[in-house]
Structure 1
Amino acid sequence: MRRLWRALGFPEPGDRQAFGDADVAAFGQVKAAVESDLLTEDTVLRLARAMGVTMARLADWEVATLVDEMEHDVQVGRADSRLSVALTLAQQVAPRFEEVLVQVWRRHLTAAAARMEAIGAKDTELRTTTMTVGFADLSRFTSLSNQLDDAALGSLVERFEERGADVITVGGGRVIKTLGDAVLYVTADPVVATRIALDLVGSVGARDDVPAIRVGLATGSVVSRLGDVFGPPVNLAARLSHVARAHRVLVDEETARAIGPEFATRALPPRPLRGFGNVSPITVTQRRAFRSR
């Protein structure tokens, strides 16, 4: 129980009473799964770590969002205090979102299993596969963040993450994670990844309320683990985005060879990229004869 509790992201309870009936019931379910040989203890702890990280971030995100709602309700006179709003939300909204949370998890679990099945039947392919990795970030974000107050900076990051995620999802990609001023996504098709990159630059980054966006793309073998992706393409995509100018998409040679005649490519002079030596980035633009679908 203590190992599971730590894996879920909670501090050691020590001698104080820390668990309620619901906690005990949940631990009982886990214990039964391990004792029935359905799951090994190591597997349970790995799943617990993934769940803990995900739920902690979700909770922080929800609380930050609800704080804005609380402030608005107090300002317009719907409530006397933020405490009363918080209690109302906890009593009325949380139970409904519990059902939504479980259903969304079920759908994402099904989608993840389908992606794994599509990769291939070999066990070695289930975690390592060829993907195109996209790394999109806001240019001049550091200097801009020093000029904004906390509220304005938070709104900017939220607009970027929300709009960027919409473009990536609609375009056929999958968001792996957001990093405030950057978003990491993957696709199995370099052409799809490039279309998404150009859409990010041309739509999200072209709006007045969001700074210019630059994107790096790299294709190659990546390892999928704990909901994240690792490997040289991930690092190279990030390096390419950092040396790209505003409103520009830079790709590696592997991606450039795979995207075909739909895009115009031009090699830039070699430059040192940390961990990769001298690399010639390739800039990509949409040919006028083609339109992104």
Structure 2
Amino acid sequence: MAELVGVSESTLRRWADLALVPLDDDGGWTTSSLNHARIVQRLRAKGRSLSEIAAVTERSELAFDYLTAVVTPPTAHVTPDDVANETGLQVALVRRIAEAFGFSDESIEHMSEQDVDLFRHAAAALDAGFPLIALLQLARVYGQALGRVADAEVRMFRLYVRDPAVRRPGSLLETAGSLGGLARDVLPLADPIIRHVHRRSLHWFIEQDAVSLVEQALDEDSLLGLGRLRVAIAFADLAGYTRLTEDQGDEEAVEVVERFVDAVEMSLPDDARILKTIGDEVMVIADDAGALVDWAVGFQILNPDEPRPRIGIHAGEVLFRDGDYFGREVNMAARVVARAAGGEVLVTQPIVEAGGPHLEFEPIGEVRLKGFRDPTALSLARQPPEP
């Protein structure tokens, strides 16, 4: 256990004597012991003294015993050389794949036996013909997305389960027991839920991609370069959001943003999706530029309340990398929304050309967008006035 934690045996025994690391009734070392020891070691590495850690432990604020119900620390260390021998991958490739998945430098040198299965799957994908460049990008997407999921799971459990339970009057032992039971019952459900959502989403996006491939084959004369796609990009945010946080406070402002994001997500056309949110700003990607500008105009009509949304839309060829979209056209879409006012849908010429006759596009002239050398023709998209 001392080797797994990275300390000497005498240090580990001292922590146990100070009750920082729990032992079982017979004085034996358990999974709970290992979990506690690893956390104590991390606190010590951050400069915290044993007396500080002990004081917090006595106040029960270091009550993470519930994690032992679902977290099983590794019982042995495996090196990249061991993984290479088991999977047939080169050692350098093992390191590259591990870095893509988000392993730290230390964890790469001290992987677990369970990690070997991960690399077996990666090796099988490569043997089946999946390109290495795509595998590494997909590994980064998995690592970042599932890391965010795990972070949210732990923080939600702490904020809405653990902290309220610890604050309630009663026996600490009873609280720890109830938390452990809840963790055992709830947190393991994450894996099957994630698998189901992934398969369901995969089916949906395969259908959407098939439709997109057919439409592009009908509309375009040539294939795009490797890793490139032709899409429509919309950025939408709330005009006056900063002032809203000042006037009404963070909690109310966050609720406004949540309602805004929900409204966007629930109203988007079938081939569009929210790629990411940054504060009050939403980035939307779609294959059909005409449908996207239809949505934007309708969204503004249906959301007349303050703070008003503002939307900027552009379309063009982008580079798809690591699950995200990059390039000049993405940057232009971001600059377009910055020139819009609340309640407006501001679009570039490719969007005007893709829009249907039921919409009205009012040219506002050529505008110099920040970071672009040449001026860009912009138009206001809206519903024509009633006759």
Q: TM-score range by the shorter chain?
A: 0.7 to 0.9
Give, in whole Å, the separation in 1 of the partners of 2:157 and 2:192: 18
Judging by fraction of residues, say which structure has more strand.
1
Please give the root-mean-square deviation of Cα atoms over the aligned residues, in Å.
3.5
Alpha-carbon distance in structure 1 between the residues aligned to 2:156 and 2:237: 23
**Residues 216, 238 of structure 1: 8 Å contact kept:** yes
How far did 1:162 drift?
2.6
CA contact (8 A) 1:177 1:228 kept: no
Once residues 367 and 223 of structure 2 are traced to their aligned partners in structure 1, the CA distance between those partners, rounded to angstroms, is 38
1:108 is matched with 201
Residue 135 (structure 2) pairs with residue 50 (structure 1): no
SS state at 2:285 partner: strand
Give 1:1-293 correspondences, 5 Å limit: 1-13=94-106, 18-34=110-126, 36-39=127-130, 41-70=132-161, 74=165, 87-117=180-210, 118-119=212-213, 124=224, 127-147=227-247, 149-168=249-268, 172-203=271-302, 205-207=303-305, 211-276=307-372, 277-287=374-384
SS in structure 2 opposite 1:206?
coil
Which one has more relative contact order, counting CA pairs under 8 Å at least 6 apart? 1
Whole-angstrom CA distance in 1 between matches of 2:170 and 2:134: 46
Match of 2:105, SS? coil
Q: What are the Cα deviations for residues 35-82 of structure 1, in whole angstroms up to 9, with x where unaligned? A: x35445544332211111111222334445445533896499699889
Q: 1:225 to 1:267 in 2, by over 3 A?
A: same
Looking at structure 1, the residues matched to 131 and 319 of structure 2 have their Cα atoms a distance apart, in angstroms, of 23
**TM-score when normalising by structure 2:** 0.62
CA–CA distance in 2 between the matches of 1:49 and 1:110?
21
- Kept in 2, the 8 Å contact 1:130–1:219? The answer is yes
Contact 1:5/1:12 (8 A) holds in 2: no
Q: State the one-letter code of the partner of 1:166.
A: M
Native 8 Å contact 1:135 1:215 kept in 2: yes
Q: Letter of the aligned partner of 1:187 in structure 2?
A: A
5+ residue gaps, structure 1, are none
Relative to structure 1, the CA distance from residue 76 to residue 249 in structure 2 (aligned partners, 3 Å threshold; closer, same or farther) is farther
Q: Deviations over 1:21-41 (max 9, x none)?
A: 43233233334444x354455
* Identical amino acids, percent of aligned pairs: 26
SS of the residue 1:239 aligns to: helix
Change (3 A) 1:15 1:60: closer
Q: Deviations over 1:194-242 (max 9, x none)?
A: 1221233333x4346xx22100011222333322223333222211111
Give structure 2 stretches of 5+ with no counterpart.
1-93
Distance 2:171 2:305 in 1: 38
> Taking structure 1 as reference, are residues 279 and 32 closer, same or farther at Cα in structure 2, changes over 3 Å only?
closer
